C-alpha cells in the first residue's frame, strides 16, 4: 500500500484510540495492570533464577568426620577425595577452626562458646569439597558417605532443589495470573475497538461495496489496538522500573546493616533486567492490543 494510505491509517487509528475517553482509559489501565503484575512475577523469577545459578556455581559438599578420627586417617581421606572426578579443591576444617568461625558468627555473643575449646570442643573435623559443576554434587556426596570415619555429608543440592521448586511454582502461578489478566485486557480492548467498529460499520459496509480490501479496512483498527497496547506498556514500564530501582536501593541500604543480605539476596542490577522487561512488556502489550482489535473487526468484514 502507498505511504499516503498508511499515513491515513495511522491518523485514523490513533485518533480513535484516544477518541472514546472512557473506553480508552479502561483499556489502557487493563493492559497496564496486567503488565505490572507480569513485571513483578518476571522480576521475582529472574532473581530466583539468578540466585539459583549463584548457588549452583558455589556448590560444595561438606563431609563431617567421626569424633575419634586419627590425623593419619584424615590425610588418607583427603587424598582419596582429591582423586575423584569433579572435585575442584578440598579444604580441611579442623574442629578448632570450626569453633573459631562459629564464634566469629556469634560476634558479641561469642562468650556463649567459652569453655568448649580444646578437648571440650563438640564439633567434628570436616572437609569442604569444592565441586566443578553442580551435576557432580550428588555423585560426590554419595561417594563421600561410603568413606570410613565419615559421620555425615551435607550438600547444597537440597537448597538448590527446593529453590528450583519455588521458582517453578512462582513461574506457574505467575503465568496463570498473567494469562488471565491478558485475556481480560484483550476482552476490554476488544470492546473498545468494537465500539469504533460499530460506529463505523456503515462506512465499513460502503468500503466493502466499493471494493476496499479487508486489509485496507482492518489496518486502522489494528493501529488503534496497537496504540492502546503500546500506551499501556509504556505506562507499565514507567511504573515497574522505578519500583524495582526503589527495591534495589532499599535492599542495598540493608546490605550495609546486615551482612547476611549481601551474600544471599543479591538482586539483579537494573541494567540486567531493563531490556528483558522492555521487550516483554511491549511485545505482550502490543499483541494483546492487536489481537483484541482483530477479533472485533472479523464479524463486520463479512459483506
Partner 1 sequence: MIEFRNVEKIYSNGVKALSSASFKIENGEFVFVVGESGAGKSTILKLLLKEIDPTSGDIIVAGQNLRDMEERDIPYYRRGLGVVFQDFRLLSDRDVYDNVAFAMEIVEAPRKEIRRRVPMVLAMVGLSSKAKCYPNELSGGEQQRVSMARALVNRPSILIADEPSGNLDPATADGIMEIVEMANRRGTTVIMATHAKDIVDTMAKRVITLKNGVIVRDEEKGGYFNED
- Binding stretches for partner 1 (CB under 8 A): 1-2, 4-5, 8, 202-203, 205-214, 216, 303
- Residue 231 C-beta: closest distance to partner 1, Å: 25
Grid coordinates given for 115:
569453655
The distance of closest approach from Cβ of residue 218 to partner 1 in the complex, given in angstroms and rounded to an integer, is 12
Q: How far is the CB of 55 from partner 1 (least distance, A)?
A: 56
Residue number with CB closer to partner 1 (2 or 21): 2
What gap in Å lies between CA 279 and CA 108, rounded to an integer?
A: 49
DSSP state of 88: E
CA-CA distances (angstroms) from residue 204 to 5, 7, 94, 220? 16, 19, 84, 11
- Closer residue to partner 1 in complex, CB, 109/202: 202
Report the C-alpha gap between 245 and 243 in whole angstroms.
5
Q: CB of 26: closest distance to partner 1 in angstroms?
A: 25
Nearest approach, Cβ of 297 to partner 1 (angstroms)? 15
From CA 28, how far away is CA 263, in angstroms rounded? 40
Which residue, 57 or 199, has its beta carbon nearer to partner 1?
199
Q: What is the 3-state secondary structure (H, E, C) of 136-173?
A: HHHHHHHHHHHCCCEEEEEECHHHHHHHHHHHHHHHHH
Q: How far is the CB of 292 from partner 1 (least distance, A)?
A: 24
Q: Considering beta carbons, is residue 42 or 222 the nearer one to partner 1?
A: 222
User: What are the angstrom distances between the C-alpha of 83 and each of 33, 65, 94, 198?
Assistant: 56, 18, 21, 77
Least CB distance from residue 239 to partner 1, whole Å? 37
Q: Which is nearer to partner 1, 80 or 205 (CB)?
A: 205
The grid coordinates listed for 70 are 586419627
Quick one: 70 or 214, whose CB is closer to partner 1? 214
Question: How is residue 44 annotated by DSSP?
Answer: H
**Bridge partners of 87?**
131
CB of 11 to partner 1, least distance (A): 13
- Using the minimum distance from each CB to partner 1, give the nearer residue, 199 or 254: 199
Cβ-based nearer residue to partner 1, 39 or 220: 220
Q: Give the integer Cα–Cα distance in Å for 79 and 77.
A: 5
Show Cβ contacts of residue 105 under 8 Å, excluding neighbours closer than 6 positions. Answer: none
Burial class (CB in 10 A: 0-12, 13-18, 19+), 154: middle
Amino acid at each position: 500500500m502507498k505511504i499516503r494510505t498508511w499515513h491515513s491509517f495511522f491518523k485514523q487509528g490513533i485518533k480513535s484510540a484516544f477518541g472514546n475517553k472512557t473506553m480508552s482509559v479502561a483499556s489502557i489501565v487493563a493492559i497496564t495492570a496486567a503488565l505490572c503484575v507480569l513485571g513483578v512475577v518476571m522480576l521475582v523469577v529472574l532473581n530466583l533464577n539468578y540466585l539459583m545459578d549463584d548457588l549452583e556455581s558455589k556448590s560444595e559438599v561438606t563431609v563431617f568426620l567421626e569424633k575419634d578420627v586419627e590425623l593419619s586417617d584424615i590425610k588418607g581421606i583427603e587424598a582419596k577425595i582429591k582423586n575423584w572426578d569433579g572435585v575442584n579443591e578440598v579444604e580441611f576444617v579442623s574442629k578448632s577452626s570450626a569453633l573459631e568461625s562459629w564464634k566469629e558468627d556469634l560476634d558479641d555473643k561469642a562468650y556463649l562458646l567459652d569453655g568448649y575449646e580444646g578437648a571440650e570442643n563438640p564439633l567434628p573435623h570436616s572437609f569442604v569439597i569444592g565441586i566443578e559443576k553442580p551435576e557432580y554434587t550428588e555423585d560426590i556426596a554419595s561417594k563421600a558417605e561410603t568413606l570410613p570415619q565419615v559421620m555425615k555429608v551435607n550438600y547444597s543440592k537440597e537448597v538448590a532443589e527446593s529453590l528450583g521448586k519455588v521458582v517453578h511454582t512462582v513461574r506457574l502461578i505467575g503465568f496463570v495470573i498473567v494469562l488471565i489478566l491478558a485475556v481480560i485486557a484483550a476482552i476490554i480492548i476488544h470492546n473498545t475497538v468494537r465500539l469504533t467498529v460499530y460506529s463505523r460499520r456503515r462506512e465499513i459496509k460502503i468500503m466493502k461495496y466499493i471494493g476496499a480490501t479487508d486489509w485496507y479496512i482492518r489496518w486502522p483498527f489494528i493501529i488503534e489496538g496497537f496504540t492502546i497496547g503500546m500506551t499501556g506498556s509504556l505506562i507499565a514500564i514507567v511504573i515497574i522500573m522505578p519500583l524495582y530501582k526503589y527495591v534495589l536501593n532499599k535492599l542495598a541500604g540493608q546490605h550495609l546493616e546486615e551482612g547476611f543480605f549481601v551474600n544471599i539476596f543479591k538482586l539483579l542490577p537494573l541494567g540486567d533486567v531493563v531490556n528483558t522487561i522492555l521487550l516483554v512488556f511491549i511485545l505482550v502489550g502490543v499483541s494483546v492490543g492487536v489481537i483484541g482489535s482483530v477479533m472485533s473487526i472479523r464479524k463486520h468484514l463479512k459483506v
